[in-house]
A and B are shown apart, each in its own frame.
Chain A
């Protein structure tokens, strides 16, 4: 195990939804366009001082291809969280996709 170091957490989404996370000590970054969202994700991804980026699902859907193209790295972890409209199921679909990639078929759906 490597030497640990302190990291920050960021959350990206629409202003109205994520502003509350600011009081919890998380960097809340509000975005209002796809370009802005991509730019911010890129900046955070390359800065190396963030351990995880939470992105609300409505924005994940918008910049999906961009996120898929990011090179896989141990850090930061990009995670979809539901937006103020509730869950769109994008997160669970993501897990399904991961399982399918690893196992070859969706074994979680059987439950």
Chain B
């Protein structure tokens, strides 16, 4: 009885509670389905995210490594001059997809032009090498951004939904059920009391 709601034991409250219980049960089922759906989607992308990340980390590490070598070898003014005007363009079109009420991004990405826009005679070959790596990795990086960010958004949504499911399942619904039981018992008790009084009154009248 510790968890029952603080309500007057009347028939009206009982009816209200019954409606509430029905809604809560329905909501619980729906939220459970939502959680399962989100989880399914999450599972399908999280492994992809992990593999992509490992790949990008390996490639990019090399790329940065040779780029740092390049920038250490060259004078800053030369670097700036060489890389001043980018000749390659990237276009990224982003849309959002709705997964069980959660918006997740979807990128489609295109590279245009060539990154070779600098003087090959004055720059070191480390630059070519690192830019090649960067250019190649960029596709994966964009994909990684999409997948990992989706996973992140889904994870927070899953957590929220799970909390709601648990709150309904272990707190809200039991509380209502308990209260319904309490009110029913109380009403029955009242009825019995009224009956006994009635019988007593009838007895007294019959004796007279």
Contacts and interface: CB of A to CB of B under 8 A. Distances in A.
Interface of A: 1-9, 16-17, 19-26, 51-52, 54, 72, 74-75, 77-79, 81-84, 86-87, 91-92, 94-95, 98-99, 101-103, 108
B187 interface: no
A78 B63 CA distance: 20
Given A52-B145, A81-B141, A24 B90 contact: yes
A99 to B, nearest CB: 6
A51 B92 contact: yes
Q: How large is the interface on B (under 10, 10 to 19, 20 to 34, 35 or more residues)?
A: 35 or more
A5 B94 CA distance: 6
Nearest to B107: A51
B86 A77 contact: no
B131 A79 contact: no
B95 interface: yes
Contact of B154 (A79, A84, A102): A102
Contacts of B54: 92
A108 B46 CA distance: 9
Interface stretch (B15-23, B97-105, B196-204): B97-105
B193 interface: no
A86 B65 contact: yes
A9 B108 contact: no
Contacts of A22: 83, 86
A95 B65 CA distance: 24
Contacts of A102: 39, 42, 46, 151, 154-155, 158-159
